Chains A and B, each alone.
Chain A
């Protein structure tokens, strides 16, 4: 079983024996990879079928909504919080980031970069909301209600005084150079800290 590239990067970057909350954990794929290296993992997931699948594979997962239910976790309950490919679907991404860094001192946040050149071209040439590999759903039914670019995210964390520890850029599931990442990165993974 091969992990999605952004998840593989996160799985690799989380230190052994740490405590992790995976927000939007799906069926527990990343959690399983983390557990195999001795990480204590918990998950939050909105879809009951995914929650059932994750619990059935032995994961500790709570059915819940990142927009509301992060409030139930105490301060500093974890070493790392993970939010992969979910930020752009939340009602208030800024508040979700605040919650992640309340629950844990560090957080991984990954999202599709809305300033990738394909997205820019789709808008510029077609004048239509882009439908791409990472954003595959038409505008009227997409769960991605807060599109965000690499530069937008940097602005947000800077405004909040949040530190960026490390950034990974990916293009076509492969690492992309940091140079010109704003338009060359299909998605980005940020490791941020208070």
Chain B
């Protein structure tokens, strides 16, 4: 599966400048795969950068090249949509460490040409943002009208405001947080251990072999998928209903619909994602804590960002990045005098609400992007 995934051609640029990483290591050059939509205006002032989530990709509003499914935010991005490509030039880049064309663990070693595997350096959310800034430099875009992201995309958006406050006019952060909690890290560790316990993982050097840790990756996805849904949503969708049978099997088949669903989600995921990329990106999220370089004071991260307009949105059924984490960011923004908006929306879908049909979110996204336009 992984080899098929890595055969896909993506639109990308290779920037031959070094990228210094938070770990102290340096990437000698970086390849960034990206998609763009809508025209860049002559003064290059209408660019909107969308940052994708953990398992997202640059195909925000175009069909996924591996699965053929519509883009992950096609309902939000396009002509006449809340992120209106008739008005904005939308850029979405595959994050550093991922597997859809941007430099990551499947990238070749510069010296040998063999896939790096675990020799790829550990990266952070801010490293992802630095790579995006290099792409924008390459594109000649010095300042963004907005950076927008949900979940890990929201973390990148916050890191953008903290790292390059002069390069964005507004930041839209949906269902996200400024740090990973112990619970967040714990769920990710379960996923990583599932991958690394799979004998086909082979210490990360599986790319040339006929075996890839698809079982481990599928289990990682199953565990993570539970965290994206609300208990109420799971109960409503599956309850205790049995899968294609009338009686329990007294065995270990997927008796329950919820088991069958999770197995399908896990397996389907391995068609479009690389196990090592999953390790690196979850690690980056776990290391994320914007307050850490400021003695635990989150406001310190935004000291230079008071001219950025922030909009934060949480969902009442999201227990992965709950409302309290968004409020913490809002408090920090208020203490530095930044213009911050915040609302907790009611939606039944848990963390995944940011990807689904929540009409109030559409209005908020459209409105916050139009604010500050002349």
Contact = CB atoms under 8 A, between A and B. Distances in A.
Partners in one complex: yes
Interface string A51-65: 111011111111110
Nearest to B330: A62
Contacts of A73: 334
Contact of A74 (B335, B367, B370, B371): B335
B162 interface: no
Interface stretch (B64-72, B114-122, B343-351): B343-351
B343 A52 contact: yes
Contacts of B29: none
Contacts of B309: 60
Given A60-B309, A72-B330, A55 B341 contact: yes
A120 interface: no
Nearest to B369: A58
User: What is the interface of chain B mostly: helix, strand, loop, or mixed?
Assistant: mixed
Given A51-B343, A57-B367, 7 more contacts: A48-B343, A51-B341, A52-B360, A52-B364, A58-B371, A73-B334, A77-B334
Interface string A143-180: 00000000000000000000000000000000000000
Nearest to A53: B363
A48 B367 contact: no
A194 interface: no
Interface residues of B, number: 24
Nearest to B372: A58
Contact of A48 (B331, B339, B346, B370): B346
Interface string A8-43: 000000000000000000000000000000000010
Contacts of A62: 330, 334, 340-342
Interface residues of A, number: 20
A141 to B, nearest CB: 22
A65 B343 CA distance: 12
B308 to A, nearest CB: 11
Nearest to A48: B343
Interface of A: 42, 48-49, 51-53, 55-64, 72-74, 77
CB-CB nearest 4 A-B residue pairs: A56-B367, A58-B371, A56-B363, A51-B343
A89 to B, nearest CB: 20
B330 A55 contact: no
B364 A56 contact: yes
B334 A74 contact: yes
A48 B345 contact: yes
6 contacts: A51-B342, A58-B370, A72-B331, A72-B334, A74-B334, A74-B335
Contacts of B341: 51, 55, 59-62
A55 B311 contact: yes
B337 interface: yes
B366 interface: yes
B371 A59 contact: yes
Contacts of A57: 367
A62 B340 CA distance: 7
Nearest to B367: A56
